[in-house]
Structure 1
Amino acid sequence: MNRMEFDVIVVGGGHAGCEAALASARLGKKTAMFTMYLDNIAMMSCNPSIGGPGKSHLVAEIDVLGGEIGRHTDRYNLQLKHLNTSKGPAARITRGQADKYWYRVKMKEIIENTPGLEVIQETIDEIITEDGHVTGVISSLGIEYKAKSVVLATGTFLKAKVVIGDVVYPAGRQGEGSAEELSESLLKNGIDLERYQTATPPRIDKRTVDFSKLKEMHGEENPNFFSLFTKKEKNRTVPTWLTHTTEKTIDVARELLHFSPIVTGVIKTHGPRHCPSLDRKVLNFPDKKDHQIFLEMESMESNELYVNGLTTAMPPFAQEKMMRTIAGLENAEIMRYGYAVEYDYAPAYQLYPSLENKKVRNLYFAGQINGTSGYEEAATQGFMAGVNAARKVDKKDPVIIDRSEAYIGVLIDDIIHKKTPEPYRVLPSRAEYRLTLRFDNAFMRLLDKSREIGIISEDKIEYLENCIKNIDLEVQRLKQESVPLSKANELLEKKGEKQRVVKGVTVSDILKFKNVSYEDLAYITDIQEFPDFVKNQIETIIKYEVFIDRERSQIEKFKKLESLKIPEDFDFSEIKGVSNIARHGMEEVQPISIGEATRISGVTGHDIALLIAHIERMKKDQ
C-alpha cells in the first residue's frame, strides 16, 4: 500500500475522530486521520468536563472495550468528583474537569505515536463512491485518498457558521474555518442533511474575579476514576467556584433580549436543551432569578475561566453588561466572547446499529454529525464506528451492543430510532435498565464484547475475569454462610440499625441492611482483601438483589424480541393494516429485528402484531 491508500480513513480530529482512528489502528488497520488543523486534535471547544449522569457510563464502557477517553481524563484533569453517593447505585457517577491544554497536547502525542496511524492536515471535500460503496475521499487540494472504510466524524464543521449578535461568518468554531464542500458530496450520494446549533459561554480572566464573593468547591484526592486500570496515589483537587445570577442580571438580559440572535431570527435552529443559553432561560423561565454560575478553570497553563451557566451568543456589549451584575464578576474581563455555531448534520435514522450508512456501504458516521451533543457521546460513537469500520475491512460481522447491555446501546439505538428536536444527549432516564447498567459494573457487562473486539490486552482481560469470578464466588459464600443471632445483632447495633434479627440469618441477610458495608462483615465472618471495585460489586449485588433480578427478567423479554429477525430486503409497504406513520417509520429506519421495530417513533403494538403476522405468512409461503 502506498501513502494514498489506507484500510480506514477517519475524517475529523475531535473526540469521535480520535477514538475512531485509535480503535482502527489498534486493530491493525492502516489508518489515516484527516483534520483541518493538527494543533486542535482533541480540542475541548466547550466546557472541558467529562462525565456526569449517563456520560460517566459511556466513558467507563468504552474504557473496558479499549477506548482512550477515560484513562486520558484520569491522567490529565484538574479535579474529579464522585457524585450522588447518598443515592442508589444506579445514580452514582464520576465527573471530571479535564485540563484542556494537556488533554489536547497529550492526545495528539498518543495519536502521533500509534503504529499504523497517519495524521494529515487536510480538509476533505468529497467522498468517492462506486456501486453504492465508499472507496475513498478527495481533499480540498484535489488529492485522492483510497480506503476500504471511511468514518466521518466532522463535528460542527459542515457548512458551519459562527454567530455573535448580528455578526455571522463561516467557521466551525471561533478562530477556525468551515468545511464548505463535503455537505454537497453527501447530498449527491442520497444522504439527508439537516441543521443544528450549539453555543458556548464567554471565557474570563481569572485575575479579574473577586473570589471572596464566591463559594469554593474542590475535587477529591481519591475519587472513583473513570478507568479501572488507572493507578494513581492521589488526584488533583483544583477548585471550581459557584456564584449566581441576580434579579439585576435577569432585568439586563430581558432589556437586551431584542439583540439576541434567537429573538432576531439570526439563529433559527435548535440547540442542546440541557444546557440552554441565558437568553433562552429568561424566555423559558421568566420568574427564576438565581441561575447557578460555575467558574471552572480550563487549564493549569491558562488564566481563562469557563463561565458555566452563562452560555449566550448575544452581542459583546450585552455579554459585558450581564456579566457586571453577577457577584464576583463585577470587574471580570472577557477574554473570549460567547458564540453559537450552526452546522449540518446527517440524521442517524440513515444508519445501521453498526453506525454504517444504509445508502453508502462502508461509510460510517460518528459524533455530532449524527445529531448528538457531548464529548462522551462523540467518543463513544467514534470508538464503535472505528471498531466496525476496521472489522468491515476484515469481512467480520460488526460489534453491536444493545440497550440492555450498555449505555452505548441506549445511545446508538435512540439516535437511530427516536427523533429529538435538539442535539441528543444521553441521560439515565433514557435507559430502561438503569440498575443493571451501573457506572461501576461496566467491566462485568462488557467483558465478552471486549474480548471479541480485541483491543484490551490479554493480561487485563484475565485480571477482570478473575475479579468477576471472585465476585460470583463471594456472593454465593455470603448467601450460604449462617451467622449466630447474637453476633449479627451486635453488628447491627454497632452500625446504628434499629431493626434486629430474630431467626436464623446468613451473612448476606446482614449485608442487606443499609448501614452495613462489605468491610463491616469482618465482625461476623472472614472477608478477603479484594480491590475496592470488587467489594463494591459484592455489596451492590446483594443489597439490590430483588431489584436486579426483576430487571433481569425484563431484559430476557427484551432479548426475545431482539432475536426475532426481520428478513433482509423486507418490503414494509406490503404489510396490510399498519398506520401510515408506522409504515413510513419502518421504511425509513429499515429495522433488522422485531425488537428494533418496536422502538421506532409512531409504531404501535397493533402495528407490531401485523408485522409479525406478515412475516409468519411469508415463512409459510416459502
Structure 2
Amino acid sequence: MFKKYNVIVVGGGHAGCEAAAVAANLGSSVLLITMNMGTIAQMSCNPAMGGVAKGQIVREIDAMGGYSGIIADKTTIQFRMLNRSKGPAMWSPRTQNDRMRFAEEWRLQLESLPNLDMWQDTVREIVVKNGKATGVMTSLGISIESDAVILTNGTFLNGVIHIGEKKFGGGRTGEKAATGLTEQLIALGFESGRMKTGTPPRIDGRSLDYSRMEEQWGDEERGRFSFTDVPLAAEQRCCWITYTNERVHETLKKGFERSPMFTGRIKGLGPRYCPSIEDKINRFAERDRHQIFVEPEGWKTAEIYVNGFSTSLPEDVQQDALRLIPGFENAKMYRPGYAIEYDYFPPMQLDLTLETHHIKHLFFAGQINGTTGYEEAASQGFIAGINAHQRINDQQELILKRSESYIGVLIDDLVTKGTEEPYRMFTSRAEHRLLLRQDNADARLTPIAHRLGLISDERLERVKRKVESADEIVDYMRKQSVTAADMNPILIQLHSSPITQKTRLFHLLTRPQVSIFDVAQAHAPFAELVNRYDKEIIEQAEIKVKYDSYFEKEMDIVNKMRKMEDQEINPDFDYSSLVSLSKEAREKLVKVKPRTLGQATRISGVSPSDISVLMIHMS
C-alpha cells in the first residue's frame, strides 16, 4: 500500500510540521503521520507565537527557510515588540494569531510540497533492525518502511487529562492518547519520565464586559516575524487586561481539596515559569491580585483565551471564580481548563543532531524532549528534519553553536544538561544574547541555510545587501564629522551635553539620548544617505554604532571559547580508561557523549579538573 519513504515524521504539531516540511524541501520523500488531519499545527494552548526569547527562535527558523514565521504573519491579529524599553538584545516579537487560520495555513503549506505525503493513523511501534529505525507500525496494522523516523508526539504519549477529581486518557481535550510507543522505547533501553502542563478555560467573548477591563492594542508600526514580504493584515484586534482579587482567590482555595495538583494525583512536574492560577495563589500568598490577559482566538470567533488562568480545578470552581473577575461577571464557559500528564524522554539520550544514542536514524523533537512552547518545538523539528535528511544521505550534519543561535542554546542545554521540568527558552539562557538578536537572525543563519540548499540565491543576496547597506551607514559615520554650531541646538533639545568642536557622527550616536535621525538633522549629506534605506537597515546601523564596544568584547569571549568548541571528542571515546576523572564525571560523560570539549565543560558534575584531564589526554 505504501512505498518506502526516506523520512517518516510521527505527529502533526509544530515540531512535526517543521520537520516534515524541511526534510521534503531538502529532497527527501516524507510521510507525515498524524492521529487527526483536522488538528495539524493546532495551537493547543494560547493563540500566540513568539514572546521573550521565543520570538527570536521564530525569526531564526524563518531565516533558515522554515515556515513558522510566515504562517504566524499570515494569521496575525495583533503584533507587539516586547521589551522595547530595554536594549535590543531583549527585543522580542510576539503575535496574537487566528487559531483556526493558523492551522489551515500550515495544512495548505504542507499540501503544497510535492515530496510530502500525509496519513491519518496512530503509530504504535517503531520498526528497528540491527539497531536502526527502519519504519513504523500503525494501529491499523500497516507497516511502512523508511530510512529514518522522527518522533514529535507532543503530549500524547500515555496522556492523562485532569479536571478536578476527574481524569481520563487523552493527548488533548477531545483527542485520545497514544499508547504503546513509550513501552517499546523503554524496552529498547530508553529512560522515560512524566511531565505536566495545563491550559485555561475558554470563554464566550459575547458574555464579557470589556468596559471593565484595560485595552491592550498592538504596535502602531506593525512588525513581522518573516524576513520575506508576507502580506500583513491592515487592521489589528484589541486584547484586554483585567485582574484577579481576594474574592477570586478565596473561591479558588475552596477547591484545593479537590485539586489533582494538591492531592498528589498529578506526579509530573509542570512548567516553572507558567504556573497554574492555583499554584500562583499558593506560592505567592502575599499578592492580592494577579494579571489576566483576555485574548481573542481569531478575527471572527467569539472564543476568548484567558491567559494567566491556567487551572485543573473542578469546572464549577473555575466558573465561580471567573465570575468574580472584573468584566467576567456573566462569563459563559465554552470548556474548562485542565492539566495533562504525559511521557517524555530525558534529552541527554540524544546527540546534538537530535538523533538518539540508542537507535540510529531515530530522532526526537518537541515536547517528547521535555520542552514547552510551540517555538521550542518547531525549532527542534526543523533541526531534526534537516539532520534526518543529512544522515540518510551521508551528508554533513547541522549543529548550531550557542554563539550563533538561540536554537543552538536550546538544543545544547537539553542534550548537555537535560531537564526534569518543562524547558522554556529565556534570553537569560543565552550567554551571547547581545549577538543573538531578533533583528540579525538572517545575517547569522541565512548563509548556513543557503549552503544546505534551503535558501535561494536571490534571498541570500538580499541579506548581503542589507548587511552591506548598514555597514555603509556605519562607515560613513566613522569618517564624517559635524560642527558644534550645527549639532548643539539638537543636543540641547535632547538634554545632552553640547560639543565644543567638530565631532564624528559615530561618537555622537553612541550617546543614549541621540538617535540616528537626530544626527541626520544636523548633517544634510548624511540625511540623504539615511533616506535611501528602509527602517530595518537604519535600525541595524544604529544598533551597530551604539553597541560597538560591547560587540567587540562579546566577540573576544566567543573567539576564546571557540578553541574548546572546535576541539572535537571521538563519540566512541573510552572515558573509563581515564582513572584521573572523577566517578561522577565518567558517568556523565558516558551518558551525554559530548561532541566537543566545550560541550563537556557545560555538563553538570564535570569539574574544571576533569576538563584538564581530558585536555591533557587529547593533546
- Please, which of 564, 581, 584 is the counterpart of residue 581 of structure 1? 584
The alpha-carbon deviation at position 57 of structure 1 amounts to 0.5
Q: 1:502 aligns with which of 489, 500, 503?
A: 500
Aligned amino acid, residue 356 of structure 1: E
TM-score by length of 2: 0.97
Deviation at 1:176, TM superposition (A): 0.1
Provide the C-alpha distance between the structure 2 equivalents of 1:233 and 1:595, rounded to a whole number of angstroms: 42
Query: Secondary structure, in 3 states, of the residue corresponding to 1:71?
Result: helix
CA contact (8 A) 2:77 2:233 kept: no
After TM superposition, the structure 1 = structure 2 runs for residues 298-313 of structure 1, keeping only pairs within 5 Å, are: 298-313=297-312
Q: Deviations over 1:406-448 (max 9, x none)?
A: 1011100011122333100000010101111111111111132
| Alignment partners' CA distance in 1, 2:596 and 2:254 | 54
Report the counterpart of residue 558 of structure 1 in structure 2.
Answer: 561
Which position in structure 2 is the counterpart of 1:619? none
Structure 2 unaligned regions, length at least 5: none
Q: Does 1:521 align with 2:519?
A: yes
**Partner in structure 2 of residue 61 of structure 1:** 60
So what's the TM-score if we normalise by structure 1? 0.96
Pairwise mapping of residues 271-350 of structure 1 onto structure 2 (< 5 A)?
Answer: 271-350=270-349
Amino acid at match of 1:185: Q
The answer (yes or no) to whether the contact 2:153–2:367 under 8 Å persists in 1 is: yes
Gaps of 5+ in 1: 617-622
Residue 593, structure 1, aligned to residue 592, structure 2: no
Amino acid at match of 1:530: Y
Superposed CA RMSD = 1.4
CA distances 1:121-151 after superposition (whole Å, capped 9, x unpaired) = 0100111111211111111111111111111
Q: Does 1:534 align with 2:537?
A: yes
Report if aligned partners of 1:157, 1:171 keep a CA contact under 8 Å in 2: yes
- Aligned pairs for 1:320-469 (under 5 A) are 320-469=319-468
Question: What is the DSSP-based 3-state SS (H/G/I as helix, E as strand, rest coil) of the residue aligned with 2:27?
Answer: coil
Contact 1:50 1:98 in 2 (8 A): yes
- Secondary structure of residue in 1 paired with 2:372: coil
Contact 1:65 1:446 in 2 (8 A): yes
Q: Give the C-alpha shift of residue 221 in structure 1.
A: 4.5
Aligned to 1:482: 481
Q: CA deviation at 1:503?
A: 3.8
The code of the aligned residue for 2:613 comes to: L
Q: Which residue of 2 aligns with 1:124?
A: 123
Three-state SS of the structure 1 residue aligned to 2:215 is strand
For residue 485 of structure 1, report the CA deviation from its aligned partner.
3.1
Aligned twin of 1:181: 180
- Whether the 8 Å CA contact 2:73–2:232 is kept in 1: the answer is no
Kindly tell me the number of residue pairs found equivalent between the two proteins: 614
Q: CA deviation at 1:4?
A: 2.9
Q: Which residue pairs with 1:5 in the alignment?
A: 4
> Secondary structure of 1:107's partner?
helix
Which residue of structure 2 aligns with residue 609 of structure 1? 612
- 1:196-235 matches, cutoff 5 A: 196-232=195-231, 235=234
Cα deviations by residue, 1:157-216 (Å, 9 ceiling, x for unpaired): 011111111111110011001111111221222222111011101001111111121111
Q: Which moved more, 1:483-492 or 1:443-452?
A: 483-492
The whole-number CA distance in structure 2 between the counterparts of 1:310 and 1:53 is: 20
Q: Distance in 1 between matches of 2:427 and 2:229?
A: 25
Offset at residue 585 of structure 1 (A): 1.4
- What's the % identity of the aligned pairs? 40
Q: Is the 8 A contact 1:170 1:178 kept in 2?
A: yes
Q: CA deviation at 1:235?
A: 4.3
Equivalent residues of 1:220, 1:236 under 8 A apart: no
Deviation at 1:283, TM superposition (A): 1.8
Tell me the distance in 1 between the aligned counterparts of 2:133 and 2:409.
28
Structure-2 separation of matches of 1:576 and 1:489: 69
For residues 551-590 of structure 1, the C-alpha deviation after alignment (integer angstroms, 9 at most, x for no partner) is: 1111111211101121231011222233322222111101
The answer to whether the 8 A contact 2:416-2:594 is kept is: no
CA distance in 1 between partners of 2:101 and 2:569 (Å): 48
Q: Distance in 2 between matches of 1:156 and 1:568?
A: 31
The answer for the alignment partner of 2:268 in structure 1 is 269
Aligned-residue offset at 1:227:
1.0
**Contact 1:203 1:306 (8 Å CA) reproduced:** yes
Q: Is the 8 Å Cα contact of residues 483 and 501 (structure 2) preserved in structure 1?
A: no
Q: Is the 8 A contact 2:189 2:358 kept in 1?
A: yes
